[in-house]
Amino acid sequence: MSTYEAELIVSERVSAADGVLALTLRHPLGEELPGWEPGAHLDVLLGPELERQYSLCGDPGDRTAWRIAVLREPDGRGGSAYVHEQLGVGDKVRVRGPRNHFRLEPASRYRFVAGGIGITPVLPMLAAAEAAGAEWTLLYGGRTRQSMAFTDELARYGGERITVAPQDETGLLDLGPVLDVVPDGTLVYCCGPGPLLDAVEARCPAGVLRVERFQPKEQQAGGEREFEVVLAQSGRSLTVAPGVSVLDTVRAAGVEVLFSCTEGTCGTCETDVLEGTPDHRDSVLTEEERAAGETMLICVSRCRGERLVLDL
Ligand SMILES: Cc1cc2nc3c(=O)[nH]c(=O)nc-3n(C[C@H](O)[C@H](O)[C@H](O)COP(=O)(O)OP(=O)(O)OC[C@H]3O[C@@H](n4cnc5c(N)ncnc54)[C@H](O)[C@@H]3O)c2cc1C
């Protein structure tokens, strides 16, 4: 896991669409930045208690600059508003990462589905799929054409493989032609608002879908029982009370762990499970990873039994 952390400088700030700002970040001394692969994101440390994740949407081959694009969320808790209102060219911003839970796995064919700002991780994936000689298509929806970022950059691929479908012109995305028949060897990558991801998940054949959620998936409430967590590295045993997360329990005991979003979306606190069965409540792990039960996101996930042994 990368733990690179640095204060970078905003070197460029441009409007990428209505409500979307693209920021280019560079090292103040011109130092090379860590490499990354399509699907990676940064933790952007906007202030005390204000950390947000942003997908890298520039060129992975350019080690001098990172680009992120941020949609303003008028009803949010202030992360995107801070970026839009406070971060200007020349300002410093602390970042951590990159981290990737949305890797582009090798395949001969890809179907990309992006909704709104969900285009950000997909954009570098298109270039990678193209460079790998894979067949691919992109279905890209948004509220209006003006709200859809990077349509100009998509133009380089020609119109045939890309369907740009603004909702006010063509209605909701027509998923049928993309998902009803998914030939062997195809992977489907989807990023966008929750309802789009839910619709794609419901329609996609098992095993072929990879998603990234920018907001936590709605979880069923309840099941908040007390359980025991054993920290294998020290042998300490802690009690996780109902309504308190494993992460908070572990931190309260003075153990240092990496974490960021505390909502089960960024994956920073993913921890190896040595014994016990996790009750997964995150929005990151795939069905296969959940079933394997080898890791869990300790900020939201709990325990199906009485006891978990974690590699902490
Ligand atoms: C891996 C990853 C990559 C991401 N990449 C990008 C990216 O490239 N570009 C980008 O713009 N964003 C991205 N995000 C989302 C981003 O991190 C922030 O969540 C986003 O900028 C909004 O932050 P905010 O503080 O303004 O709003 P938040 O408070 O996080 O709110 C976001 C949305 O959730 C709703 N909401 C907030 N609190 C609640 C609540 N308690 N109950 C119900 N609904 C609530 C709000 O109404 C709003 O619509 C990514 C997230 C993740 C996890």
- Ligand 1 atom 1, closest CA: 266
Weakly modelled stretches of the chain, pLDDT under 50:
1-2
pLDDT at 222: 67
- By DSSP bridging, strand 227-231 and strand 236-240 are antiparallel
- Return the pLDDT at 1: 47
DSSP structure string for 238-303: EEE-TT--HHHHHHHTT-------SSSSS-TTEEEEEES-EE---SSS-HHHHHHTSEEETTT-EE
- Ligand 1 within 6 A of CB of 16: no
Which residue among 43, 51, 71, 80 is best mutated to probe the pocket of ligand 1, counting the most ligand atoms within 8 A of its Cβ? 80
Burial class (CB in 10 A: 0-12, 13-18, 19+), 228: middle
Structural domains present in the chain: 5-99 (2.40.30.10), 109-213 (3.40.50.80), 227-310 (3.10.20.30)
Express each pLDDT in 230-268 by its tens digit: 999 999 999 999 999 999 999 999 999 999 999 999 999
Whether residue 216 has its Cβ less than 6 Å from ligand 1: no
Distance 76 CA to ligand 1 centre (A): 7
- Whether ligand 1 lies within 6 angstroms of the CB of 260 is answered as no
> Hey, what are 26's tokens?
């560079």
pLDDT, tens digit (0-9, with 9 covering 90-100), for 199-220: 999 999 888 999 999 999 887 6
Q: Which residues, at least 6 apart from 63, have a Cβ–Cβ distance to it below 8 Å?
A: 32, 33, 35
